[in-house]
Amino acid sequence: MKKFFALLKVSVKSMLLSSTNSRGRSRKKAATGAGAILLIAFLGLYMSGLYSSMLMQVLSPIHMEVLVFIFMGMGALVGGLLFTAFAVKGVVFGGRDNDLLLSMPVSTTALMASRVAAIYLENLLFSLFVLAPAGAVCAFMTQSGVGHSLLFWVRLLVAVVALPLLDTALSVLLGALVAFLSARVTRGALGQNIVMGIYMAAVFWFAFNLNGMIEGLAENAAGVKESLSWAAPMLWMADGILGDWGKLLAFTACCIVPFALVVFGLGKVYRQAVTAFAARSARNDYKLSAQAASGQKKALLVKEARRFFGTPMYLWNAGIGLIMLVGMGVAAIVMQGKLNEFLAMMGGALPVMPIAAAVMGFCLCTCVIAAPSISLEGKYLWILREAPVGEQPLLWIKTGFELLLTVPCTILAGVCLTIALRLPIGEAAVLLLAALLFCVIHAAFGVLMGLTFPKLDAVNETVVVKQSLAVTLGMFVPMAALGVCALLYWLGGFIAPAAALALPLVLLAVFAVACALILAKKGPAMLRAL
Amino acid sequence: MLRIEHYSKTYPGGKKAVDDLSLHVRPGEIYGFIGHNGAGKTTTLRAVAGVMDFTEGVITIDGHDIKKDPVGAKRVTAFLPDNPDLYEFMKGIDYLNFIADLYDVPAEQRTKDIGKYGDAFELTGNLGSPIGSYSHGMRQKLALISAFIRRPKLLILDEPFVGLDPSASHLMKGYLAELCQNGSAVFFSTHVLEVAEKLCHQIAIIKDGRLIRSGPTAELVGDSSLEDVFLELEGEK
């Protein structure tokens, strides 16, 4: 047990250090890291609280509070899976310290358990952020008073702790499948991308269906609960939280058993699994033909593209926003009729173009391609340093690569939304201008964050792409800027309609110019100092 | 080809890794740089390659000041660290083309050189595989090929013999000699004193960041062996 805790300490410490960058001597940087985590916690609690209260408003009068916990539980399960399934291959099976730790006198089950525990802790946070606000909402809004007893909170705590066990077991199995396939398929990255693509499609299908169910809640809540019999553990969890100890016990067993099977089962064959997943022998059948030459900039850009498309973890985490952006535009065109019906029903009360801009901005925030690109150089940084290329072109290539992906998707989404929402030409121009300025901000700010909070010694790419402070700030600071834009739009409305549009545009333009200038003036020195 | 004048490097916290080092590597020379662990060899090589900043002194390569004109200096240089990490998401051939593109190597020349060095190091057949699937020795060979195809005027190598099999080591020595015959220079660090003694025209010995002896190998060694001289200078004999 002592050895397990020592290993667990290393896993968790590594995760925390990468999230907060607190290893550096700068207290300011550590404080920024802690601040970013608090911001995420606040956003998680706020969003979960908002959804829970919306559901509770509909369901409490008909005494169907149980559905709030079913839906929020499913949300936590799917969200956790989405968040951690990508991480498993790197964190559990692909750590660079595998050789070191496997050579030590510790059981492989303990090693496997310590790695899985890091995944469990991430899922636990997810579960806490989603279910705790649902509990609070239940305590304040329910008419039956079920949330007022201490035992209710004890049962909720059991659910919060147990649910991530199930999440973790599913994540580890999916991660093991991905690792297995990438070791067996010649084009490993392609195989992983296909698996992840199918998985993401399933998650989106589930999310859309869940949305449909929520829409029909008021009319037929009992029927909705009936139709969820396939998700029996979630029903048991919800009934358990609301007072049925037997079902809570059944749910807890449903979480513990798969987790134990995964940890002890895979733990027994951990050494074989790690060896099999890493075993990729070089082929010996290449025939050299005439090679083609290209310029320095193209070579660097192609290198960024190879890393992005050849690293499924990076592609699916940073590229999901691109899919959402294009998907949203196409969906708006396809569902044009319904969308306009809804807008007509609202009687022109909604600021359509600003909402479209905000949604596009939100999608762009999740395209954190540039922010981790500095840290991903990691041990390879010497190659760029010894190359006859100045620091400034290197930084612009990294910024430019994100723009190369985000700008076409932004234009496509903007045009689709303009057509679907029948925006006047002036508003369409403002929408596109704002979105393109936001693309520049996001890319340049991302590179700046990568330079300010580098994580060059990460044990795998997962740590950089999912847990580094640069990525957190690269996503949430532009999101906060979107919030300020919304505030300026609202304030500008008191002056004149033109001011409402101009003020956010000016803010975006100033932010974009500031990021570009800082990157141009300070960026090279920051890169040299790494 | 390489001129180091009064070079010093102090790490944050005040530790002086290298103190007032000066040496000169001429075209056509193989220059060995030896010293015990932590003497300052790698720190010096990294500064010469423009990978690491330094506090004092001037380093010029083929007339280009590494601080004032780093891109010009790097264009004529190839550097290999002791444990070269190469992009694992690339195939071997992609990596060689990437390096060749950065150094503006013409298509015809790179095809010829990749074939020449790839065949010699028995790596051509593996060039279509991802670097992630290479063994340590294969990566070392690929890194060496990537250095040779640049046809550098100055080749900087940090412990180049570590990880290479005897036939690859033998080949490499031959190619280093060939490079020097064509007017280039080689500046490398090593702990293999026998190799340094046989291969190098000049040798410098560094101890605690200070140059304690340098000169033509024959003069430095005299009737003794490099090992004896080294141990005597290190105060271990």
**Selection from A317-331, B105-119, B194-208 with the highest mean pLDDT:** B105-119
* Least confident window among A166-180, A337-351, B15-29: A337-351
Residue B216, beta-bridge partner list:
B202
Task: Give the mean pLDDT of B126-130.
Answer: 89
- The answer to whether B110 contacts A189, with C-beta atoms less than 8 Å apart, is no
pLDDT (tens digit per residue) in A359-377: 999 999 989 999 999 999 8
* A32 vs A453: CA distance, rounded Å: 10
Question: Residue A68: helix, strand or coil by DSSP?
Answer: helix
Domain residue ranges of chain A, discontinuous segments joined by +: 2-11+18-278, 296-529
pLDDT (tens digit per residue) in A410-439: 999 999 999 988 889 988 999 999 999 999
* Least confident window among A112-121, A298-307, B69-78: A112-121
- The answer to whether B106 contacts A293, with C-beta atoms less than 8 Å apart, is yes
Shortest CA gap A178–chain B (Å)? 17
pLDDT in the model for residue A514: 95
**pLDDT above 70 as % of chain B:** 98
Band (pLDDT 50/70/90 cuts) for residue A46 is: confident
| DSSP calls for A251-320 | HHHHHHHHHHHHHHHHHHTHHHHHHHHH--PPP------------HHHHHHHHHHHHHHH-HHHHHHHSH
Task: Give the mean pLDDT of A300-314.
Answer: 89
Of B51, B71, B94, the CB nearest to A388: B71
Q: Chain A within 8 Å of B77 (Cβ-Cβ)?
A: yes
In a 13 Å sphere around the CA of A457, the CA atoms on its Cβ side amount to 7
pLDDT in the model for residue A15: 64
pLDDT in the model for residue A186: 61
pLDDT at A493 over 60: yes
Q: Chain A within 8 Å of B224 (Cβ-Cβ)?
A: no
Of A188, A288, A383, the CB nearest to B127: A288
Give the nearest chain B residue to A300 (CA atoms): B98
Q: Chain B within 8 Å of A390 (Cβ-Cβ)?
A: yes
Report which of A402, A449, A210, A412 is spatially closest to residue A324, judged by C-alpha positions. A412
Query: For residue A467, what are the contacts with CB-CB under 8 A and spacing of at least 6?
Result: A15, A18, A19
Question: B-chain residues within 8 Å CB-CB of A382?
Answer: 51, 79, 81, 84-85
Domain residue ranges of chain B, discontinuous segments joined by +: 1-76+153-237, 85-151
pLDDT in the model for residue A136: 87
pLDDT in the model for residue A185: 65
**pLDDT above 70 as % of chain A:** 87
What φ, ψ does residue B9 adopt, rounded to 5°?
-135, 120
Question: A347 versus A257: which is more confidently predicted?
Answer: A257
* Least confident window among A55-69, A442-456, B54-68, B128-142: A55-69
- The answer to whether A290 contacts B111, with C-beta atoms less than 8 Å apart, is yes
- The answer to whether A388 contacts B94, with C-beta atoms less than 8 Å apart, is no
pLDDT in the model for residue A21: 53
pLDDT (tens digit per residue) in A324-360: 899 889 888 888 888 888 777 777 677 888 889 999 9
Question: B-chain residues within 8 Å CB-CB of A296?
Answer: 101-102, 104
ipTM value of the model? 0.85
* B137 vs B86: CA distance, rounded Å: 12
Residue to substitute from B77, B102, B146, interface A, most A β-carbons within 10 A: B102
Report which of B204, B226, B227 is spatially closest to residue B21, judged by C-alpha positions. B204
Task: Give the mean pLDDT of A1-16.
Answer: 72
pLDDT in the model for residue A286: 86
List C-alpha distances in Å: B231 to A268, B189, B211, B216, B225: 51, 17, 15, 18, 10
Question: A302 versus A278: which is more confidently predicted?
Answer: A302
Q: Chain A within 8 Å of B123 (Cβ-Cβ)?
A: no
pLDDT at A22 over 60: no
* Least confident window among A133-142, A210-219, A314-323, A502-511: A210-219
* B91 vs B22: CA distance, rounded Å: 40
- The answer to whether A296 contacts B86, with C-beta atoms less than 8 Å apart, is no
* Mean of pLDDT over chain B: 88
pLDDT at A158 over 90: yes
pLDDT (tens digit per residue) in A83-103: 777 777 777 887 667 777 777
Of B78, B110, B138, the CB nearest to A291: B110
Q: Chain A within 8 Å of B12 (Cβ-Cβ)?
A: no
Question: A-chain residues within 8 Å CB-CB of B126?
Answer: 282-284, 286
- Please name the fold of domain B1-76+153-237: Rossmann fold (3.40.50)
* B96 vs B139: CA distance, rounded Å: 12
pTM given for the model? 0.76
- The answer to whether B105 contacts A286, with C-beta atoms less than 8 Å apart, is no
pLDDT at A500 over 90: no
pLDDT in the model for residue A280: 63
Q: Chain A within 8 Å of B137 (Cβ-Cβ)?
A: no
Question: B-chain residues within 8 Å CB-CB of A188?
Answer: 130
pLDDT at B101 over 90: yes
Task: Give the mean pLDDT of A145-156.
Answer: 83
